[in-house]
């Protein structure tokens, strides 16, 4: 688990033929949640415009992976503390909060990989075995998990009443979290100041290493736990099985599960109906791999976990519009969000980078 993926290569950004008015979704969460976020974003922009007389531009409401799933799962091992959720959700990358808006370009698109429903169980079994065989560090109190990634989101941008679909420039994201979840730090361009923002609060941040270590490692018991927690706070527009799949992906991509839990998560995912193998997928930095995925038929979007073909190491995650949505707002092949894990480690202190003193 303390291995870093291979060095990234430039991401492949492809211009779509047309940019259509649309709504944005970071990860499968249903139209209801999106419109709620968009409303909050617009209120925030309107208030800012009143103060600065600037032209309103709808900024992306990209949430960190803990926060993304807060709409699916309650506080516990699977979601970020509420105070942090509110802080990030309303920051919106505005200059008043000390952050700068990210540059944008044409919407990122991709070839849609072929899905194989029969291939998923065998692939996940191989991935689980590889995860269980991965060495992990001996942790001790006072340490922090550190995860660095490259991320980008596609969203609707409105200027002078005209809306187009754009994608953020690929940018760095770094998260530190204490083993007990009581302290941490987040740095992400467009979401925090250059110095970042604290993840400390009155309650421990969920998804921390110690909390994960207490989860059951029996795949059936683990999956029951995931369903139970997701059912209690799931967006009603998100299918139950999709919510469970997204919750597991959350733990895999931006937390640090112990090796035995990591292996169990893959075995649990294999038991979720509708999970498929995908022959080819590309992470945020252009690395091709195979994927384990599940499609949300409500919005036509497929969440893909991308793995190295040889080592079966998790490279990243993306959400792709597999079929045009019912409103015709997103074309098939649009990449709604994309990430690539570039480093995962345990460090001695908050804001410390592996190999460097804090």
Model confidence at 236: pLDDT above 50: yes
**What pLDDT is recorded for position 282?**
97
The pLDDT of residue 38 is above 90 = no
Q: pLDDT tens across 280-319, in order?
A: 999 999 999 999 999 999 999 999 999 999 999 999 999 9
Q: What is the pLDDT of residue 100?
A: 52
pLDDT, tens digit (0-9, with 9 covering 90-100), for 92-131: 333 333 345 789 999 999 999 999 999 999 999 999 999 9
Average pLDDT of span 225-242? 89
At 152, is the pLDDT very low, low, confident or very high (cuts 50, 70, 90)?
A: very high
In the predicted structure, residue 349 carries a pLDDT above the cut 50: yes
Of 81-85, 147-151, 254-258, the range with the lowest mean pLDDT is 81-85
Q: Distances in Å between the alpha carbon of 27 and those of 85, 196, 296?
A: 16, 23, 10
- pTM value? 0.76
Structure tokens at 356: 């460097």
Cβ–Cβ under 8 Å, residues 23 and 34: yes
Mean per-residue pLDDT of the chain: 77
The pLDDT value recorded for residue 235 is: 84
The pLDDT of residue 74 is above 60 = no
Model pLDDT, residue 325: 74
Residue 12 has pLDDT above 70, yes or no: no
Q: Residue 80 class from Cβ within 10 Å (0-12 exposed, 13-18 middle, 19+ buried)? A: buried
Return d(Cα 71, Cα 198) in angstroms, integer. 21
The pLDDT, as a whole number, for residue 25 is 34
In this prediction, residue 357 has a pLDDT band, given cuts at 50, 70 and 90, of: low
Is a pLDDT exceeding 80 seen at residue 196? yes
Q: What was the pLDDT predicted at 7? A: 40
Residue 330: per-residue pLDDT: 84
Name the E strands within the chain: 104-106, 115-116, 144-159, 162-168, 171-178, 184-188, 197-198, 275-282, 288-296, 301-307, 314-321, 335-347
Q: pLDDT at residue 80 above 80?
A: no
């Amino acid at each position: 688990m303390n291995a870093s993926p291979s060095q990234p290569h430039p991401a492949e950004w492809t211009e779509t033929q047309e940019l259509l008015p649309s709504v944005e979704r970071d990860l499968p969460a249903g139209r209801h949640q999106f419109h709620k976020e968009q409303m909050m974003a617009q209120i925030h922009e309107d208030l800012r415009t009143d103060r600065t007389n600037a032209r309103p531009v709808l900024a992306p409401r990209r949430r960190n992976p803990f926060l993304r799933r807060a709409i699916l799962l309650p506080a516990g091992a699977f979601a970020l503390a509420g105070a942090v959720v509110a802080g990030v959700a309303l920051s919106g990358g505005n200059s008043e909060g000390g952050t700068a808006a990210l540059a944008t370009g044409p919407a990122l698109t991709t070839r849609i990989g072929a899905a194989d429903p029969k291939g998923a169980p065998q692939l996940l079994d191989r991935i689980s075995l590889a995860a269980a065989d991965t060495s992990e560090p001996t942790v001790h109190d006072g340490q922090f998990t550190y995860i660095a990634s490259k991320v980008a989101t596609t969203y609707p941008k409105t200027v002078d009443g005209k809306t187009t679909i754009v994608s953020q420039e690929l940018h760095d994201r770094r998260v530190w979290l204490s083993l007990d979840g009581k302290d941490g730090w987040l740095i992400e361009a467009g979401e925090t100041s250059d110095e970042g923002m604290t993840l400390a609060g009155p309650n421990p941040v969920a998804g921390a290493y110690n909390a994960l270590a207490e989860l059951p490692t029996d795949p059936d018991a683990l999956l029951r736990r995931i369903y139970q927690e997701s059912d209690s706070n799931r967006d009603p527009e998100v299918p139950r099985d999709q919510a469970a799949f997204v919750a597991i992906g959350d733990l895999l991509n931006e937390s640090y599960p112990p090796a035995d839990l990591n292996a169990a998560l893959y075995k649990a995912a294999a038991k979720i109906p509708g999970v498929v193998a995908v022959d080819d997928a590309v992470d945020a930095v252009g690395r091709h791999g195979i994927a384990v995925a599940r499609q949300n038929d409500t919005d036509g979007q497929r969440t893909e976990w991308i793995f190295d073909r040889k080592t079966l190491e998790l490279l990243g995650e993306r959400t792709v519009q597999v079929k045009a949505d019912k409103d015709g707002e997103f074309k098939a092949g649009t990449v709604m969000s994309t990430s690539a894990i570039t480093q995962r480690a345990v460090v001695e202190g908050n804001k410390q980078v592996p190999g460097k003193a804090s």
